Structure 1
Amino acid sequence: MKIAPYLMFDGNCREAFTTYETIFGGRIVAMMDHRGTPAEAHVAAHWVDKIMHACLELDGQMLMASDAPPERSDGPMRSVSVSVNVPKIAEAERLFAALSEGAIIQMPMEETFWAPRFGMLRDRFGTNWMIGAEMPADRANCG
């Protein structure tokens, strides 16, 4: 079984995913807008260039997304966070700093009882992130 987060943006999916590709060092393997597809007939004219489906491959995992037309959405990123755990403190701090540009910091990057570094933010695209450095194996609880 594979579980992949699917993010719903309010029109800025293309910019968000190209930014995430740079920050995380992944590779966009799909970025499809509505234009030229059967879905084009079902969205407003100003929405045809918005993203219908995108996939960002990150170390063998997928982060997927699309732009949700306002009439078919209750708003982007409602009550969901993407949790990213990396082995090294320096990498956690780098990711947090890169995502922090224009973000709302909900919890600054700091040492916690469950991780040597952990922080939470809502980035400028509306995505909620939980970034952490992994706890040593003898103290880990959820991986």
Structure 2
Amino acid sequence: MTIKTATPYFILNGRAEQAIAFYQSALGAKIEALQRFGDGNPSCPTALKSRVMHAALRVGDALLMMSDGPTESAPPQGGSVNVALQFDDPEQARRCFDALATNGKVVQPLVDAPWGELFGALSDEFGINWMFNSARGKSS
């Protein structure tokens, strides 16, 4: 068996709609799929009908998936996960880094890393951890 890809899946406790709009703005994400708990399920509780059951967003060649989750309670803790983004344009990396850092927490500002590229890390306003790596280009 060959693993062809690993896709991060965010459980956002009722904030998926906000996250989708944010990632569209910050990363240029495109919605590939969006299904709500009430879609095609007439017996769905009213409180869940409009919540996002599943969404898939395309970010460049990458795919991000997310859900509100079925309740307001926090998902079980299972360790730290980071989404690593590789850019070939340092200016685009900077723009996306700055956009995701809005209302978030910068862990490592974008710096010239010892391996010859730009690197930075942050946690966005939804608690998702991101790592940025980019070719330095002429602007660094």
Q: TM (normalized to structure 2)?
A: 0.80
Classify 1:115/1:81 alpha carbon distance in 2 versus 1 (closer, same or farther; 3 Å). Answer: farther
State the alpha-carbon separation in 2 of the partners of residues 117 and 45 from structure 1: 47
Larger mean Cα displacement after TM superposition, 29-38 or 103-112: 29-38
Matched-pair identity in %: 26
Question: Displacement of 1:37 after TM fit?
Answer: 3.5
Which amino acid letter does the alignment assign opposite residue 117 of structure 2?
Answer: P
Match of 2:19 in 1: 16
The CA RMSD measured in Å over matched residues stands at 2.5
- Structure 1's 27 and 107: CA in aligned 2 closer, same or farther, altered over 3 A? same
Q: Secondary structure at the match of 1:47?
A: coil
> d(CA) in 1 for partners of 2:42 and 2:122?
33
Q: Secondary structure at the match of 2:65?
A: strand
Larger deviation, residues 9-18 vs 113-122:
113-122
- Offset of 1:39 from its aligned partner? 9.1
Say which structure is richer in helix.
Answer: 1
Task: State the shift of 1:47 in Å.
Answer: 3.1
Q: 2:76 aligned with 1:74, yes or no?
A: yes
- Off by >4 Å, runs of 4+ in structure 1: none
TM-score, normalising length: structure 1: 0.79
| CA-to-aligned-CA distance 1:72-123 (integer Å, 9 cap, x gap) | 8215x95111110101221211111010110011111111113421111111
Q: Which moved more, 1:108-117 or 1:3-12?
A: 108-117
The AA in structure 2 aligned to 1:117 is L
Counterpart of 1:61? 62
Measure, in 1, the Cα distance between the counterparts of 2:67 and 2:8.
Answer: 11
Greater displacement, 53-62 / 81-90: 53-62
Amino acid in the other structure paired with 1:73: P
Matched with 1:5 is: 8
Where in structure 2 are the equivalents of 1:101-140 lying within 5 Å?
A: 101-134=102-135
CA–CA distance in structure 2, aligned partners of residues 119 and 23 of structure 1: 16
Three-state SS of the structure 2 residue aligned to 1:105 is strand
CA gap 1:36/1:101 in 2 versus in 1, 3 angstroms: same
What count of residue pairs does the alignment treat as equivalent? 133
